[in-house]
Structure formats: structure tokens, C-alpha cells
Amino acid sequence: MNKTKHLIEPKDFTVEELDDIFRLADDIIAAPMKYLEVCKGRLLASLFYEPSTRTRFSFEAAMLRLGGQVIGFDDPSASSTSKGESLADTIMTVSCYADIAVLRHPREGTAKLASKFSPDMPIINAGDGGHQHPTQTLTDLLTIRHYKNKFTDHVIGVCGDLKFGRTIHSLVKAMSRYKNVRFIFISPEELKMPQYILDELDSASYTQTNNLEMVIDQLDILYMSRVQRERFVSEEEYLRLKDYYVLDNTKLQKAKNDMIIMHPLPRVNEISVEVDDDPRAVYFQQAKFGMFVRMALIMKLLNLEVER
């Protein structure tokens, strides 16, 4: 019997295992009908202690499209959490009913903690506070692979809230494993990349700036992000920083013709809607890849296969 595998942070999968997931996602995209019953009789628990549109819907759609079923909540006040139940007790209970669980929580480290109480049911981290969001990274990597055909040899501009942006932390961890990837971290001083992430990187692999216009012509990939209002202590500080970057057609004039513009969404003001018509804007496609890669992930964690 295999040991239960959880996905808490991107490096829980080796590069080879990731390639396997992406190849499976390719096959699901090419022939979705083959997968209609793979998860028949299986149950996914969707435990969302924080708001979500894409992540929750794409996970639930993924399980349903695999023929499985979904239980869960998107408002913890409707669960026994509101009666004071601990996370450990909730997880141990859920594991009596479900085969796999997706957990989003405002507190950093919660998914890891939950995995300690779940010896048999895989736990997927769908975002733990401002820390990590590994399944968004699977989505992002599948998008990069689709538009750029490779993970190596890219200059990636990561722009916006690098301090609290968990999708960014996970993306940087994952992409730092590929050869000749250089990051340009673009943020105001107050929202710089945390030191614990920088410490994991080769210091020659990144530079930091607050000036998007100065570096945009160097980029192969521009990853924009929302200023994470819910993580700020001071609303005033948020209001001061929220529109620090607004990507528009004028700023894009200097960018390469084959640069891709990514964003995990939701977008607030950081990408002007006029950019949506630019062929380089791939953020809505990116959201679509999210469902397919999560189908592949569920199959992988449940050790399910179909003949390809």
C-alpha cells in the first residue's frame, strides 16, 4: 500500500512527477470522455474557510467531470467550526466520509497541520494564508508549458504584492527548479518578496525593482497579482498601495511580441480591461487549465489510472 501523499507545497512533487501530471492533463484535455467514470464512487471534501471562485469551482468541477461527487462548505460558519471544533477534529471527521480533501484556510501552515491528522485521506492545500498555493502553480505551469513549450530559459517578471501573494511564492519555488530561469521581482518597497523565499533562490537568479516600465521589455512572462487586501493590518496602507501598478496598452508597447501576461485572478485594477483583447493576455485561458490540471491531480493522489 502506498503512503498517503498530500500536496502542501509545490516541491512535494518532483519535476518528473509534475511532468506526469501535465501529460495526464494533456490527455484529459484531448479526450475528456475517457475520464468520465474514473472517480465513480469517490468523494471529494471541499473545505473552504476563505472565499474562492476559481479554485473551489475548478476542484468541484474536476471531481464531477471525473464521475466523482463533492461534499463540503464554502462558509465555515455553517460547519461545527462555529461551535469551536478544532481543525484536527474536523479533518478526522471528514476523513471518515471522504476519499480526498481540498482545504483553503486564512492561517499559514494549516494544510500541513491538517495533513498530520489525515493518515489515509490526501489533503490538498488550496491556499494557506499568505504562504503557499501549490495547485495554482500547477495551473500556472501548465499554462507556461502550453504557451512557451518549456520551463527552462525564461525571464519571468513577477509584479504586485510579492509579500502576501501566495500564488507567487509557490510559482517562484516551482520555477526555480528549472534551468536558466531568471526572475525580476517588481513591487513597491512595502510589498517585497519575503526573505524566506529569497533565501531558497540562487542570488544570481533574481533582481528586484519597483519600476515595471523599466524592465518590461526584458520579460518572456509577466505574472501580475492583486494587492492582497485581506492580509493588511491597515486599510489606509492598502488604499495607498492598491493601484501602484496598472498594466495598460501603453505600458505594453515596449513588451516583447511573444511575452505572455498571466494573472491567477481575481483581478482588481492591476490589469486594465483593455488588455484583455491583447493576444498576449492568457489569464482566462490560465483559469481554464486549472480545472484540467486538478482533474489530473485528483487522479494522481488517488492512484487512479485509465489506459492512455
Q: Which residues bind ligand NCD (CB under 6 A)?
A: 54-55, 127, 133, 136, 166-167, 226, 228, 264-266
Q: In terms of CB distance, is 54 or 145 closer to ligand NCD?
A: 54
How far is residue 37's CA from residue 258's CA, in Å, rounded to a whole number?
Answer: 39
For 294, the grid coordinates are 486538478
Helices (H) and strands (E) in the chain, counts: 11, 9
Q: In terms of CB distance, is 99 or 161 closer to ligand NCD?
A: 161
CB 295 within 8 A of CB 257: no
Return the beta strands (E) in the chain as ranges.
43-48, 69-73, 100-105, 123-128, 154-159, 181-186, 206-209, 221-224, 260-262
**Given the DSSP bridges, would you call strands 154-159 and 221-224 parallel, antiparallel or unpaired?**
parallel
CB 277 within 8 A of CB 238: no
Q: In terms of CB distance, is 25 or 265 closer to ligand NCD?
A: 265
CB of 239 to ligand NCD, least distance (A): 17
Strand partners, 185: 158, 208
CB 70 within 8 A of CB 46: yes
CB of 136 to ligand NCD, least distance (A): 5
CB of 54 to ligand NCD, least distance (A): 5
Q: In terms of CB distance, is 68 or 127 closer to ligand NCD?
A: 127
Q: In terms of CB distance, is 67 or 109 closer to ligand NCD?
A: 109
How far is residue 210's CA from residue 202's CA, in Å, rounded to a whole number?
Answer: 21
Helix (H, G, I), strand (E, B) or coil at 171: helix
CB of 27 to ligand NCD, least distance (A): 24
Q: In terms of CB distance, is 207 or 238 closer to ligand NCD?
A: 238
CB of 226 to ligand NCD, least distance (A): 4
CB of 296 to ligand NCD, least distance (A): 17
Helix (H, G, I), strand (E, B) or coil at 149: coil
Q: In terms of CB distance, is 164 or 183 closer to ligand NCD?
A: 164
Q: Which residues contact 27 (CB under 8 A, 6 or more apart)?
A: 34, 308
Strand ranges across the sheet with 260-262:
206-209, 181-186, 154-159, 221-224, 260-262
CB of 225 to ligand NCD, least distance (A): 6
Helix (H, G, I), strand (E, B) or coil at 285: helix
